[in-house]
Chains A and B, each alone.
Chain A
Amino acid sequence: MKKLLAMLLSLLCIFSLAACSAGQTTDGSDGSASANSDYDYIAANGKLVIGITLYEPMNYNDENGVLTGFDTEFAQAVCEKLGLEPEFQVIDWDMKESELSSRNIDCIWNGLTVTEERRENMDFSMSYLTNKQCVVINSSNAGTYTDTASLASAMLSAEGGSAGEDAILADESLSQASYTASDSQASALLALKSGNYDAIVIDYTLATASAGTGDYTELMIVDGIQLANEEYAIGFRLGSDMTEKVNAVIRELIDDGTLASLADKYDMTDLYEEAVGK
């Protein structure tokens, strides 16, 4: 019996190694010792490695193949003030916590929503945008789905584990609907387009960038529905002194109007003003 236990334990140990490296254990010495000198570490490298995924309007390649977007330009502006070279690294969004703690990247700067769960694994900068969740439907159903009550018997989807999923489960009417989690927001959009779902709940920024464009011309945001808001912020390693340094720079950029004009450029003035005020 003891042998069996020992075997089980060693297996568990192997399969839980990643858990340790992700900073799951709070008593681990892994994070705290180096966290004090996180800025020094980054400054010594001379560059800030920024974890992103490619999506409009935050980080995407323009028609010339040059990386641009609100977060891209924002990060470039901040790095310039810090005297660091920004290096954008495309990551698997699902693996962002371990990418961060393993120092593959130095921060997550990609429309990252602030949540209580995530606070256990990372530090957040100040919020710079308000993230709204919105309902997207096929415009042929515009007359049918006008508010949350009309969606109570519809087929809904959102990305599994996303803020959109939380919004559906928290809403009195939407939680009545038949809900299926999607693999990603992109595949939720595709499934909506194919009619597999009647409505999906996704980030407002993604919804405005995709609904009505390209192959999604017949998709539209339902205007009348207000769902819970969240905030976008930059994620750093737990206890990192980068958070303070970056916050100071963000304040400078707010004060000199750089960030406001950036928001204007990407048509997100309302989201920006909700987060930091006018």
Chain B
Amino acid sequence: MYDISNWLNSYINEDFIRVTVQLWKGFGVTLSLFFLTLILAIPLGLVLAFCTKSSFPLLKFPFRALVYVIRGTPLLLQLMIVIYIPGIAFHSPITKWGMFGGNVARAYFFGALFAFVINYACYFSEIFRGGIENIPKGQYEACDVLGMTRSEAFFKVILLQVIRNILAPMSNEIITLVKDTALARTVAVTEILFCAYEFLKVDAIIWPLFYTGLFYLVFNAVLTWLFGIAEKKLSRYYK
């Protein structure tokens, strides 16, 4: 027992506490980026799904093109475009925009958030489109003959079936999002990996980098558990 507590002490030293506190702060940024992206990209993705499956060509083709471009280029590149292009091409650097009040960290965070939301909305929209198109025509007709409006039919009847159709691909995409937030490091968003790299550069200690894996793992375990519950609930309606 003495040996173990000795061993423990060698780990739970000042460094460990300092690193943990700092990584928690970084993980807070990671989680903010994750949740805000999710909250904004899901409704936007739904709107995009309706635009890309619209029969009106002025709506359909520009948005299909957008989805094609966003899905066809790396998120890393999109992040750089949002952060650097306003300044380079339009002489209006993002950090000097009035809404950020001269706060560079805030400007970068919301710049990165914008890129994430657009990127994920495009991926989500394709999933939604597939989910909506897989609903049998009879469900719409049943709503029609029962005198429901289009929006009543969608929100009361179709939506939950769409959710059930898209749950598996969405859970994949959302878990990918958790890990993709690490890309924001490259545009100086101080998320957890950025903080870990700081220890590497300033103190030359490596283990915080691997320690971040634990944060991601635990959080993804929670998400996986929640998706499991949702899947169980929804599968009740189907045999």
Q: Give chain A's interface residues, CB within 8 Å of chain B.
A: 5, 9, 11-12, 14-19, 22, 24, 94-95, 97-98, 117-118, 120-121, 155, 157, 159-162, 178, 180-183, 187, 190-191, 193-197
Contact = CB atoms under 8 A, between A and B. Distances in A.
Contacts of B148: none
Across the A-B interface, the 3 shortest Cβ-Cβ residue pairs: A161-B201, A194-B87, A195-B93
Chain B interface helix/strand/loop/mixed: helix
A150 B107 CA distance: 23
A190 B84 contact: yes
Contacts of A159: 201
Given A15-B210, A196-B104, A117 B202 contact: yes
B93 A120 contact: no
B200 A161 contact: yes
Nearest to B103: A178
Interface of B: 4, 7-8, 11, 80, 83-88, 91-96, 102-105, 107-108, 185-188, 190, 194, 197-198, 200-207, 209-211, 213-214
A15 to B, nearest CB: 5
Contact of B204 (A14, A15, A120): A120
Nearest to A6: B4
B201 to A, nearest CB: 2
Contacts of A196: 83-84, 87, 93-96, 104, 107
Contacts of B185: 183
A201 to B, nearest CB: 15
Contact of B84 (A12, A15, A18, A194): A194
Contact of A195 (B7, B96, B202, B213): B96
A269 B60 CA distance: 63
Given A94-B200, A97-B204, A181-B198, A194 B86 contact: yes
8 contacts: A9-B4, A18-B209, A18-B210, A118-B204, A160-B201, A180-B104, A194-B85, A195-B95
B11 A155 contact: no
Given A180-B105, A191-B83, A117 B203 contact: yes
A16 B87 contact: no
A120 B204 CA distance: 9
A272 to B, nearest CB: 27
Contacts of B211: 15-16
Contact of A162 (B11, B87, B201): B201
A187 B206 contact: no
Nearest to A14: B210
Nearest to A115: B204
A12 B80 CA distance: 35
A11 B212 CA distance: 12
